[in-house]
Amino acid sequence: MTRFRGLKRMREISQVAVRHGFGYFFERHRLQTLLPFGRRKRPRLPAQRGRHIREMLDELGPTFVKFGQVLSTRPDIVPPDIAEELVKLQDRVSPVPFSVVSEVVRQELGLSLERAFDSFETEPLAAASIGQVHGAVLPGGQRVVVKVQRPDAPKVIRRDVDLLFQFAELMEGRVDPGFSPTEVVQEFARSIGRELDYGLEARNVVRFALNFRDSEEVVVPRIYRQYCTNRLLTMERIDGAPLNTVEVAALPAEERRDLAEAIAECWFKQLLEDGFVHADPHPANILHLGGRRFGLVDFGMTGSLRSDDLEEATRLFGSVVRSDLLGIKRSLRRLGVQWNPSSDDLVTELIEENFSRYYGVSLGEVDVRALIQQVFDVVYSLRLRLPSRFLVLDKAA
């Protein structure tokens, strides 16, 4: 029965793909058996393919939306016109009924919602494919936000990820040499699996709080462990405005400069001192608290660097500001970036083109996030492959 349901869902996916103009894909790769007989014709590549791919993933549902978001950060395998459309994907769904939220709380805490909390807002502050967030007040009077996992999320995600694996296996050997669809899906499966584990997210928050315990600018919410499980996450409510809602241009020039400097310093510390980074730093996850102060939220996606990676990254940045081309290339190779010797002149040209602005600048003046992004730009423009542990840093930068 499970196999039948999987086949049915695969056929549904194929029909959606055809409806958005991608029947040619099945024809080209000899996968016509996945198509209904009435759809087995020779369709053409749709105009504005990026928009059609985005709309197709949106229709297929939350797992595919998240997969598209991951692909948008992989210019090494996704053409620019498609990546530009995929970044527009939004993980938005209708919230589950409040009765379902109440039941999840009861199952996870062993208490009714009314006994566990002094008050609990019925309308969610946000709703996404894995869970939704509600405001609440603890019996001690602490104002908190509670992230509640949707009961069907693990099952739906496992089903769709399994189908992605099946499709990736079909595509192995049918695409560009050196590119493995299965490896891409494996990385996605690991990423979304971590997002499903709210216990892991709670530990991420605690680790960040420890790393920034002496900071006067960075605010990390407190975790209330007795109200946390693998499906429930309760943390301090930070009253701040998400940067995507702040009219930054209207802020005083000095405040804009101070805030930008504080955020840059925060990521410099994460990347070069802690080796532990918030990997989803879009403006909605950064709360402006006034002046240089800001809060960080949503720690479901993080990345870690090994100690030898940190040392080599520091050497790389030092080589950049000294305009040491050989040192830059040596560090890139030690970090796992490989290229054919015949491409060495092109690599040198791209390094000079992207990094010349930093020559002679003190390391303390370097915008680390911008520099890291330019490293990725060089790697991607040459269609080189990176070790998977670095892919999350591209999103963080």
Residue among 194, 70, 62 nearest 128 (CA): 62
Structure-block tokens of residue 168: 């990736």
293-296: strand order across its sheet: 218-219, 293-296, 286-290, 241-242
Distance CA 325, CA 342 (A): 17
Q: What CA–CA distance (Å, rounded) separates 349 from 347? A: 5
Q: Which of 118, 176, 274, 280 is catalytic?
A: 280
SS3 147: strand
User: Counting beta carbons within 10 angstroms of the beta carbon of residue 60, is it exposed (0 to 12), middle (13 to 18) or buried (19 or more)?
Assistant: buried
Residues 234, 131 contacting (CB under 8 angstroms): no
The CA distance from 213 to 377, in Å, is 34
Cα distances (angstroms) measured from residue 319 to each of 134, 173, 329, 390: 48, 39, 9, 20
Neighbouring residues of 156: CB distance < 8 A, sequence distance ≥ 6 = 61, 62, 63
Which residues are paired to 127 by β-bridges? Answer: 132
Which two tokens mark 73? 């950060």
227, 234 Cβ separation under 8 angstroms: yes
Q: Per DSSP, what are the bridge partners of residue 236?
A: 144
Q: Among 303, 131, 296, which residue's Cα sits nearest to residue 228?
A: 131
How do beta strands 218-219 and 131-137 pair? unpaired
Known active-site residue 345: no
In degrees and rounded to multiples of 5, residue 292 shows phi and psi of -90, -5
Q: Which residues are catalytic?
A: 280
